[in-house]
Structure 1
Amino acid sequence: MSNQFGDLNIAVLLPCYNEEAAIAQVVLDFRRVLPGTRIYVYDNNSSDNTSEQAARAGATVVPSRRQGKGNVVRQMFADIDADIYIMADGDGTYDVSAAPTLIQTLLDERVDMVVGTRNDVTIDAGRKGHAFGNNLFNKVYQAIFGNDFSDIFSGYRVFTRRFAKSFPAMSPGFEIETEMSVHASSLRLPVKEVGTDYGVRGEGSESKLSTFRDGFRILRMIATLMKETRPFLFFSYLAVGLLGVSMFTATPVLIEYFRTGLVDRMPTWVMSMTMLLASLMVFMAGVILDSVARGRNEQKRIHYLSIAPSRGEQHIHSTPRLRERRGTVKAEGSVKERNEKSARG
């Protein structure tokens, strides 16, 4: 099978932890649908034969010592230089044959990230808790950050170099996909979703997700990202909550005062006024931090724009590819330096 993206520098990134049962087939499938593409398996301290199986199938195996998927993704994006990145899991649940469609969508739609949404995600290896959590967190995400994504937990994604190199990747674990989505939404980056088939794990492959533990981590990450990217909304909710407590405790005291002219429950009144002042302080903190967040978004946007787009321009417009552009820039720099030296001499 010929590679229709032969002019592009494409890297397939597969973070793995104890996936010896499926990783070899995943690597072989990617080699089949994208021949000639570089495939990297980042082994996150597996205790089985994941590395051996991946290497035998033809992948470049890289050890990743800091535990957690987010830590692995941060290392992958820092290590690998490419025009286009494909990230998928090594458990065999994603439809590898959809990879060319995702790449073509990235090129045609001129977007920075394409998410392969999972058509049968409710199956999720038979774990109903995961399906319920997916639906709940997707609705929470849409209510807070917008309707850019309908499957924020999909690990099947295609990125431009500009996205990969501007993404801070602060999450240590499975929250990393949520952080990717928030990064795109907060900077208003062009994104696209494409439906893909999603299967169950094969025999001998077990999910590493814990419904409650990882669900709590994801909820905490959403709250943290909300505080960092939308502080006015975050602190407004807290201010309304404190105001509600203040009103609830102050109402009986006020009723008694208007009826008798006396305030017998002074501690309750003091507490209600304290909650009111706290509400005002929290609200003002949200106003101030909103300005700070806007400044941070501007800086992140400027950093994003400082990176060459590299979205397959040669494939579409016959412009030089990444390596050639860099060689041209270096050559021009050397000529300029020689001319300056000659002028000084």
Structure 2
Amino acid sequence: MAPELELTILMPCLNEAETLATCIGKAQGFLARTGIAGEILIADNGSTDGSQDIARAAGARVVSVTERGYGAALAGGIAAARGRYVIMGDADDSYDFAHLDAFVAALRDGADLVMGNRFRGGIAPGAMPWHHRYLGNPVLSSVGRLFFRTPIGDFHCGLRGFSRAAVLGLNLRTSGMEYASEMVVKATLAQLDLREVPTTLSPDGRSRAPHLRSFRDGWRHLRFLLLFSPRWLFLYPGIALLWLGLVVGAVLLPGPVRYGSVTFDIHTLLIASLFVIMGVQSIAFAIIGRRFASRYGFIPPSGTYGRLLESLTLERVLLAALVLMGAGVAGLVWGVAEWADRGFGHLNPSTTLRPLIVATTALVCGFQLMMSGFMSSMINIPIYERRVTDPLPPDNPTA
């Protein structure tokens, strides 16, 4: 085993022959100037333009990562790094590897993840497309701060430093561009020490188009943020729909409501019923999603949420579902009786359909709760559990 170094400067690489030597030279100059014991590591993701030979000739170490993708290349590089700290950056000469002093200082001061902030450090003309600078990056960073309460202002800066041990402990899983968001989100949820330093962004030195695809990769980042936040994806929309449906339904249940020339009646009550059903299902998805994410390590466990999940036992959920379904069935039986009293003829919407809408809504919501309760309990079943008939481990006879 090679001795541990203080710093690994990591560059993911896919056909970067035009700029790779320049980036390596700047990184070597930084190490020589500061006297830091470090290495330059190129995580090659299948280059076909001779980037591997260029990197070795320039004095860098090359590790081959067969799984394709930006995140996969970085994960492979981090696993192979020998440094206690890792500073990663793109090999397109858009980031200045000659001036990494602020990153190293913050890491030595105890930071777990140090993000560059291009908006504070300066973006050179032509370095970032306008829709990235004024729309994509600000919007996605704002969403990330809102969802996860992270202090990071530039979620997608490609120049960042971190403690190798801390990032390995995050169990990062994505293989694409969303790896950048996953690192920030999981570091925030794990309550690591996150800091930002200003950094500059220059136009890259390549003659070809970048690997980044604006809308595809932007959607992947947004999708990741939503999937890792069941509250914003399911819970808050569900509460809003449920509240709106209940309020509108309560107003319209006694009879039509007229505002000026507009009358809200049975049709609006049906829409309110739909909102209630959608809200209940969305809240159920939030609970199931949070339980799944916590159980399988996507999101760290929450004490408050854990206590809530413990209180929502299958038996309690089934009891609530049976009450709702019983009320719904009773309402439907009443409706059939009313219909029979009228000789199975025309029914008055004002006196009959309103209660039937409420009864049907209760029946559907009860059925949803019952199915969601069983699904949530299935997720809670341990994957690895010793059966009663299995022999005891030889080193633990009392297990």
TM > 0.5 between the two?
Answer: yes
1:342 corresponds to: none
2:382 corresponds to: none
1:62 corresponds to: 63
Q: Distance in 1 between matches of 2:70 and 2:150?
A: 25
1:240-319 matches, cutoff 5 A: 240=239, 242-243=241-242, 246=245, 254=253, 257=256, 269=269, 272-287=272-287, 290=290, 296=297
1:144-159 matches, cutoff 5 A: 144-159=147-162
Provide, for residues 235-287 of structure 1, a one-character-per-residue CA deviation record: whole Å limited to 9, x for no partner. Answer: 2223045337746985896485468xxxx987875564243134124324435
1:200 corresponds to: 203
Return 5+ residue gaps in structure 1 as ranges: 1-5, 301-345
Larger Rg: 2
Q: Distance in 1 between matches of 2:257 and 2:216?
A: 50
Provide, for residues 299-341 of structure 1, a one-character-per-residue CA deviation record: whole Å limited to 9, x for no partner. Answer: 79xxxxxxxxxxxxxxxxxxxxxxxxxxxxxxxxxxxxxxxxx
Q: Distance in 2 between matches of 1:203 and 1:90?
A: 10
Contact 1:91 1:205 in 2 (8 A): no
1:25 corresponds to: 22
Q: Distance in 2 between matches of 1:248 and 1:20?
A: 63
Larger RCO: 1 or 2 (CA < 8 Å, sep 6+): 1
Q: Distance in 2 between matches of 1:168 and 1:145?
A: 18
1:217 aligns with 2:220: yes
**More displaced 10-residue stretch of structure 1: 270-279 or 26-35:** 270-279
Contact 2:5 2:82 in 1 (8 A): no
Give the 3 Å change call, closer, same or farther, for CA 168–204 of structure 1 in structure 2.
same
Q: 1:71 deviation in Å?
A: 1.1
Provide, for residues 126-183 of structure 1, a one-character-per-residue CA deviation record: whole Å limited to 9, x for no partner. Answer: 5112213111111111111124101110111111132122122222211111111101
Q: Distance in 2 between matches of 1:126 and 1:160?
A: 28
1:167 aligns with 2:167: no
Q: Distance in 2 between matches of 1:25 and 1:46?
A: 17
Return 5+ residue gaps in structure 2 as ranges: 259-263, 303-399
1:131 aligns with 2:133: yes
1:71-150 matches, cutoff 5 A: 71-108=72-109, 110-118=110-118, 119-121=121-123, 123=125, 125-132=127-134, 133-150=136-153
Q: Distance in 2 between matches of 1:217 and 1:289?
A: 19
SS at match of 2:173: coil
Q: Distance in 2 between matches of 1:122 and 1:174?
A: 23
SS at match of 1:97: coil
Contact 1:123 1:131 in 2 (8 A): no
Give the 3 Å change call, closer, same or farther, for CA 51–222 of structure 1 in structure 2.
same
**More displaced 10-residue stretch of structure 1: 143-152 or 247-256:** 247-256
Q: 1:88 deviation in Å?
A: 1.0
How high is the TM-score relative to the length of structure 1? 0.72
Indicate the RMSD between aligned Cα atoms, in angstroms.
3.2
Contact 1:98 1:196 in 2 (8 A): no
1:336 corresponds to: none
Amino acid at match of 1:204: S
The number of equivalent residue pairs is 287
Amino acid at match of 2:6: N
Contact 1:12 1:38 in 2 (8 A): yes
Contact 1:112 1:163 in 2 (8 A): yes
Q: 1:21 deviation in Å?
A: 0.9
Contact 1:152 1:181 in 2 (8 A): yes
Contact 1:245 1:272 in 2 (8 A): yes
2:316 corresponds to: none
Contact 1:124 1:131 in 2 (8 A): no
Contact 1:94 1:197 in 2 (8 A): yes
Q: Distance in 2 between matches of 1:298 and 1:237?
A: 20
Give the 3 Å change call, closer, same or farther, for CA 144–126 of structure 1 in structure 2.
closer
Q: Distance in 1 between matches of 2:167 and 2:82?
A: 9
Contact 1:13 1:39 in 2 (8 A): yes
Amino acid at match of 1:161: R
